[in-house]
């Protein structure tokens, strides 16, 4: 069960969703220790877990769907000395898509959002999400005023996407289009209070 | 026009929040919070954060807490309903949380649409584990909010301070 990233799902692949998440996410994140990371509650918690393990610099949701981007904003404003990476899915982002508007007007330069877009709700039976029915999250982000955006749909886009996540003149937003396949297997800690305390304690130790 | 005497408590309230280390002020605009919002916009040492929906502010508060900062959410009682599931984050992660809620559907309300959520506000917050402290009189604003700040940021509780329509004034019926 170490790697399920290539296993088939009941979902039919939508044209344009061809990358393997198990390969593309680690390549985009690179050195995970460079970030404070907030993840969504489904596959993205496992994507990051496969890269960073059960690390103190990661806070993953187990519920409260739609929270990830705004947790990232609060954290980025609180710690301008650190780089904050939100890794979320298309379904989680769509649930609170207005957060992109709120984030764009604050535009913290130390915040990056990576949306792993498989066009489906993988946790609940692979129902299609709006992004396989024509909704383009990068265009929404642009319309909100996010200035640093890109869509990574092929291996040739990964290097540019990785650069955007690591810096720029404002918040960056990267959509990664992937096949609707199972995320990497990862057993995560669902004790949110423990994870919150651990995250804060580890961060406090790095206080300048 | 409101007189200085009528709005003075809102300036005192802002000063109290700042003295207690609040650096992120998030809100969906409401007339009852307009002075706090204007003060936050004019304050170079706080992040003044307009939201598209109130639940964004709940998640923002959790992020601020992860980073060692203190946030507050300003909203109208109608916005409390928009926060319900997001409060799972506050309860589950035991995030210190403070919201100031300006009440509608309350004392002297003239818009019948406001009553459903206004009258459900306390029950909904209590059901999600948020302790409600209600203020009816100007002289209670500072002592009650001081107590709320202690309960939230020293004891790690989730607190809602409800500013009643008797305090902030209902729109007159004409």
Provide the β-strand partners of residue A86.
A38, A113
Contact between A92 and A116 under an 8 Å Cβ cutoff? The reply is: no
Q: B100: domain range?
A: 4-167
The verdict on residue B70 lying in a domain is yes
The verdict on residue A7 lying in a domain is no
The verdict on residue A2 lying in a domain is no
For an interface test with A, which of B46, B89, B157 has the most A Cβ atoms less than 10 Å from its Cβ?
A: B89
β-strands A120-121, A127-128 pairing: antiparallel
Report the alpha-carbon distance of residue A27 to residue A51 in Å, rounded: 10
CA-based torsion, A39, A43, A19, A88: positive or negative:
negative
The verdict on residue B134 lying in a domain is yes
- With CB atoms and an 8 Å threshold, state whether A76 touches B59: no
pLDDT band at B173 (very low <50, low <70, confident <90, very high): low
B66 phi/psi in degrees, rounded to 5: -60, -35
pLDDT at A14: 76
Burial class (CB in 10 A: 0-12, 13-18, 19+), B3: exposed
**pLDDT tens per residue across span B21-40:** 999 999 999 989 999 999 99
The enclosing H or E element of B116 equals helix B115-127
Look up residue A161 and give its two tokens: 């996407």
**DSSP-based three-state secondary structure for A137:** helix
- Report the candidate in A156, A122, A133 with the shortest Cα–Cα distance to residue A47: A122
Report the alpha-carbon distance of residue A14 to residue A118 in Å, rounded: 9
Report the alpha-carbon distance of residue A175 to residue A173 in Å, rounded: 7
**pLDDT tens per residue across span B140-165:** 999 999 999 999 999 999 999 999 99
Mark which residues 64-83 of A lie under 8 Å from B by CB.
64-79, 82
The verdict on residue B174 lying in a domain is no
pLDDT at A91: 97
- Report the candidate in A153, A81, A148, A62 with the shortest Cα–Cα distance to residue A113: A148
Nearest to B67 among A66, A79, A193 (CB): A79
Specify the CATH number for the domain of residue B34: 3.40.50.970
Specify the CATH number for the domain of residue A72: 3.40.50.970
Is residue B172 pLDDT above 70, yes or no? no
- Provide mean pLDDT across the span B45-60: 98
Look up residue B23 and give its two tokens: 């650096």
Is residue B2 pLDDT above 60, yes or no? no
Is residue B9 pLDDT above 80, yes or no? yes
The verdict on residue A5 lying in a domain is no
The verdict on residue A11 lying in a domain is no
- With CB atoms and an 8 Å threshold, state whether B63 touches A199: no
The secondary structure of B63-102 as a DSSP string is: HHHHTT-EEEEEEEHHHHGGGTTTHHHHHHHT--EEEEEE
Q: A57: domain range?
A: 21-205
Q: Which residues of B touch A (CB under 8 A)?
A: 23-24, 47, 49-53, 55-69, 71, 85-86, 88-89, 92-95
pLDDT at A167: 85
The verdict on residue A8 lying in a domain is no
Mark which residues 81-100 of A lie under 8 Å from B by CB.
82, 96, 98-99
Return all residues near B128 (Cβ < 8 A) that are at least 6 apart. B83, B84, B87, B88, B90, B91, B158
Residues of B in contact with A81 (CB under 8 A): none
**pLDDT tens per residue across span B91-107:** 999 999 999 999 999 99
Contact between B157 and B94 under an 8 Å Cβ cutoff? The reply is: no
- Which ipTM score applies to this complex? 0.95
pLDDT at A208: 54
Sheet holding A58-60, edge to edge: A58-60, A35-39, A83-89, A111-117, A172-177, A148-152
Look up residue B44 and give its two tokens: 């170079």
> For chain A, what is the domain count?
1
pLDDT at B3: 59
The verdict on residue A3 lying in a domain is no
- With CB atoms and an 8 Å threshold, state whether A74 touches B66: yes
pLDDT band at B171 (very low <50, low <70, confident <90, very high): low
The verdict on residue A13 lying in a domain is no
The verdict on residue B79 lying in a domain is yes
Contact between A71 and B60 under an 8 Å Cβ cutoff? The reply is: yes
pTM for the predicted model, two decimal places = 0.95
The verdict on residue A6 lying in a domain is no
Return all residues near B121 (Cβ < 8 A) that are at least 6 apart. B77, B80, B101, B103, B105, B132, B162
Is residue B43 pLDDT above 90, yes or no? yes
Contact between B61 and B93 under an 8 Å Cβ cutoff? The reply is: no
**pLDDT tens per residue across span B57-81:** 999 999 999 999 999 999 999 999 9
Q: Does A202 lie at the interface with B, CB-CB under 8 angstroms? A: no
Residues of chain A under the 50 pLDDT cut: 1-7
Residue with the larger pLDDT of the pair B87 and B174? B87
> For chain B, what is the domain count?
1
pLDDT at A96: 97
């Amino acid at each position: 069960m170490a790697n399920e990233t290539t296993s088939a799902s009941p979902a039919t692949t939508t044209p344009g969703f061809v990358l393997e998440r198990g390969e593309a996410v680690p390549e985009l994140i690179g050195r995970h220790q460079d970030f404070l990371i907030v993840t969504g509650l489904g596959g993205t918690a496992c994507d990051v877990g496969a890269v960073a393990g059960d690390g103190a610099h990661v806070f993953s949701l187990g519920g409260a769907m739609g929270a990830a981007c705004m947790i990232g904003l609060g954290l980025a404003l609180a710690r301008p000395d650190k780089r904050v990476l939100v890794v979320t899915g298309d379904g989680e982002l769509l649930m609170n898509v207005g957060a992109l508007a709120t984030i764009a007007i604050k535009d913290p330069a130390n915040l990056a959002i990576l949306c792993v877009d498989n066009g489906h709700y993988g946790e609940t039976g692979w129902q299609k999400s709006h992004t396989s029915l024509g909704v383009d999250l990068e265009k929404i982000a642009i319309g909100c005023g996010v200035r640093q955006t890109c869509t990574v749909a092929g291996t040739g886009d990964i290097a540019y996407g990785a650069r955007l996540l690591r810096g720029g003149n404002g918040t960056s937003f990267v959509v990664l289009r992937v096949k609707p396949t199972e995320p990497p297997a990862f057993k995560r800690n669902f004790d949110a209070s423990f994870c919150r305390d651990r995250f804060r304690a580890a961060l406090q130790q790095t206080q300048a | 026009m409101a007189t200085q005497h009528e709005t003075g408590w809102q300036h005192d309230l802002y000063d109290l929040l700042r003295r207690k280390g609040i650096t992120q002020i998030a809100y969906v605009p409401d007339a009852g919070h307009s002075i706090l919002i204007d003060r936050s916009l004019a304050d170079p040492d706080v992040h003044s954060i307009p939201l598209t929906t109130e639940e964004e502010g709940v998640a923002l508060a959790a992020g601020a807490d992860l980073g060692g900062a203190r946030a507050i959410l300003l909203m109208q009682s109608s916005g409390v309903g928009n926060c319900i599931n997001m409060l799972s984050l506050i309860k589950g992660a035991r995030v210190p949380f403070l919201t100031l809620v300006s009440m509608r559907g309350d004392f002297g309300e003239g818009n019948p649409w406001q009553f459903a959520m206004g009258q459900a506000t306390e029950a909904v917050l209590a059901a999600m584990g948020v302790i409600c402290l209600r203020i009816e009189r100007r002289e209670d604003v500072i002592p009650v909010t001081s107590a709320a700040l202690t309960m939230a940021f020293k004891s790690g509780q989730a607190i809602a301070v409800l500013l009643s329509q008797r305090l902030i004034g209902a729109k007159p019926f004409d």
